[in-house]
């Protein structure tokens, strides 16, 4: 961008000065401001004991970077990871409970079916147990 501005400035000066007379076609002041934009993505540089052009030896300290933000982000990620592991353990425990409840309900359904054949139970009792089984199976699929 800076080169484009410089080239267009040079062209405008040459064009305005090509009239052949010694009078100026335009006058004014040009001001520029240099802005340094740096990224603190990997941490802010706290000190840099080397200069441009220095010869660097192996294992020489080049810069000291503030890693506080990175450390905080790492701690946040570790806490999130721990939370996920806890949630997974909880889901596994709930699934084991649901599995056992399904086993128990299937045994009760079999008992009530036998009792229904002997007319010792009602159809409603069997329907209630089958409904409970469907609810548990849906809960397990949702987990």
What pLDDT shows up at residue 18? 53
What pLDDT shows up at residue 38? 62
pTM of the model: 0.49
How many other C-beta atoms lie within 10 A of the C-beta of residue 135? 13
Stretches where the chain sits below pLDDT 50 are 1-4
What pLDDT shows up at residue 108? 95
What pLDDT shows up at residue 84? 96
Distances (CA, A) of 6 to 3, 24, 26, 29, 50: 5, 20, 17, 14, 33
What pLDDT shows up at residue 40? 59
Express each pLDDT in 106-122 by its tens digit.
999 999 999 999 999 99
What pLDDT shows up at residue 3? 46
Opening angle at CA 108, ends 106 and 110, nearest 5? 70
């Amino acid at each position: 961008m800076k080169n484009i501005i410089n080239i267009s400035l040079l062209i405008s000066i040459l064009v305005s000065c090509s009239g052949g007379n010694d009078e100026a076609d335009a006058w004014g002041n040009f001001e520029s401001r240099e802005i340094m934009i740096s990224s603190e993505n990997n941490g802010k540089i706290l000190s840099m004991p080397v200069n441009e052009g220095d010869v660097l030896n192996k294992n020489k300290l080049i810069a000291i970077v503030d890693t506080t933000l990175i450390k905080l982000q790492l701690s946040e990620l570790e806490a999130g990871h721990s939370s996920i592991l806890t949630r997974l353990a909880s889901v596994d425990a709930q699934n084991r409970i649901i599995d056992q409840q399904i086993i128990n309900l299937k045994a009760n359904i079999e008992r009530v079916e036998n009792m229904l054949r002997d007319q010792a139970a009602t159809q409603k009792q069997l329907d209630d147990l089958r409904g409970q089984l469907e609810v548990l199976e849906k809960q397990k699929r949702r987990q």
